[in-house]
Structure formats: structure tokens, C-alpha cells
């Protein structure tokens, strides 16, 4: 049975930047902000910066081919990369030679545009501006009219 309200909600979810992959929803920003401001934006959407747990998830995000923050940082303890849920990094997809903490000032991870899907992350200064990806079990949309 075609349900107009359900269709309208789905359309709004898409228009606001959310994409479904597996059982999760991913928000791809249209703007650029610092890592902290990006994380704040995700929280306001009842989400957090994306945590990449598998090669499949890495491949899904790579398809967008955007320069975006992911939820990974070593700001608390240099060299100890942690996801925003405090879990340690296990499966990593760094570019070759990364993370290199260039100038001693690179504590946040970005998903960069590169030819190699499985070697795509770089550490850069957290104050740089980039797009970002939020992840949530639910897509958050502003109040429906």
C-alpha cells in the first residue's frame, strides 16, 4: 500500500543529506567546518562523526569521494588513535606514510580523495576545515511540516 506520509518522510531524509547503508544512516555535510564544530553539528542531529568498522563501510564512504572528517582523533594522547565512542582503532585505512603528525600538530583524521580506497585517511590539524560525515541508527530531520 502506497503511503504518502512514509514517502514524504523518506524524501525529506534524502533531501537533508542522509543516506542509508546497512542498518545505519549517514549524513554527508554540504558545508566545511573544523573537526570539533563538525562533531557538534553531528550531535545536534542526534548522531556523531562516523566510526568506520569494516572494509565495506570504508568502501561505502569512499564512493562519495569527498574530503571529510571521520570520528577519529589522537588529541588526548599522541599516537593513540581513538574513535569518538572511545574505542581504539583496530582496522585502519591510512594513506601510505600516514599518520605522520606533521609539524607535531595533526590530531584529527580526514578521509581524503585518493585513488586507493583502502589507503585514504590522513591526519591533519583539527582546526582545518573539511566536510564531515555523521552516523546514526536513525536519520534526524527537522520537524516535519
Please identify, among the stretches 17-25, 36-44, 61-69, 99-107, the one whose residues bind ligand MAN according to the rule CB under 6 A: 99-107
- Told to check if 106 binds ligand MAN by CB under 6 A, we report yes
- Told to check if 122 binds ligand MAN by CB under 6 A, we report yes
Q: Where in 55-84 is the site for Ca ion (CB under 5 A)? A: none
Exposure on the CB side of residue 38, measured as CA atoms within 13 A? 32
Closest residue to Ca ion: CB criterion: 123
Contact code string over 80-109 relative to Ca ion, x by CB under 5 A: ------------------x-x-x---x---
- Told to check if 107 binds ligand MAN by CB under 6 A, we report no
Minimum distance of ligand MAN from residue 103's CB (angstroms): 8
Contact 131, 68 (CB under 8 A): yes
Structure letter (DSSP) for residue 103: G
Total site size for ligand MAN, rule CB under 6 A: 7
User: Using CB atoms within 10 A of its CB, is residue 136 exposed (0-12), middle (13-18) or buried (19+)?
Assistant: middle
**Cβ atoms < 10 Å from Cβ of 1:** 3
- Told to check if 100 binds ligand MAN by CB under 6 A, we report yes
CA distance 87 to 118: 20
Closest to 68 in 3D by CA, of 29, 36, 123, 116: 29
Q: Which residues bind Ca ion (CB under 5 A)?
A: 98, 100, 102, 106, 122-123
Amino acid at each position: 500500500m502506497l503511503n504518502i506520509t512514509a514517502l514524504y518522510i523518506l524524501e525529506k531524509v534524502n533531501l537533508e543529506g542522509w543516506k542509508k547503508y546497512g542498518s545505519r544512516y549517514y549524513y554527508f555535510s554540504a558545508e566545511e567546518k573544523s573537526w570539533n564544530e563538525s562533531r557538534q553539528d553531528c550531535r545536534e542531529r542526534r548522531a556523531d562523526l562516523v566510526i568506520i568498522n569494516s572494509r565495506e563501510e570504508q568502501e561505502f564512504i569512499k564512493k562519495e569521494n569527498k574530503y571529510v572528517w571521520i570520528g577519529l582523533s589522537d588529541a588526548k594522547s599522541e599516537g593513540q588513535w581513538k574513535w569518538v565512542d572511545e574505542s581504539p582503532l583496530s582496522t585502519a585505512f591510512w594513506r601510505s606514510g600516514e599518520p605522520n603528525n606533521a609539524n607535531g600538530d595533526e590530531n584529527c583524521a580526514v578521509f581524503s580523495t585518493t585513488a586507493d580506497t583502502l589507503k585514504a585517511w590522513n591526519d591533519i590539524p583539527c582546526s582545518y576545515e573539511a566536510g564531515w560525515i555523521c552516523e546514526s541508527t536513525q536519520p534526524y530531520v527537522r520537524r516535519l511540516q
